[in-house]
Amino acid sequence: METSASALASAARLAADGIYLGWGSFTIQLGNLLVIVAMLVLFAIALFLPFPGGRDRR
């Protein structure tokens, strides 16, 4: 039981740490913001890159 209690305490400490950015009533953790930006960049790349061999079929 001690192990699960210490794991829960560790998780609670990790959730409290971090750099938070705020603008008005909007607040986001820096790590989450970086993940969102990376996903948007990958989505934009996927939109603009052609499928391999897609132009040869026309």
Phi first, then psi: what are they for 52, rounded to 5°?
-65, 125
Give the chain's radius of gyration (CA, Å): 21
Q: Where are the domains of the chain?
A: 16-47
Q: Report how far residue 17's alpha carbon sits from residue 14's, in angstroms, rounded to the nearest whole number.
A: 5
How far does CA 53 lie from the centroid of its chain?
Answer: 32
- As given in the structure block, the two tokens for residue 35 are 């993940």
Which tens digit of pLDDT belongs to each residue from 29-49? 999 999 999 999 999 999 988
Q: Over pLDDT 90: what percentage of the chain? A: 50
Q: Is the pTM of this model over 0.85?
A: no
| Neighbour tally for 29: CB within 10 Å | 14
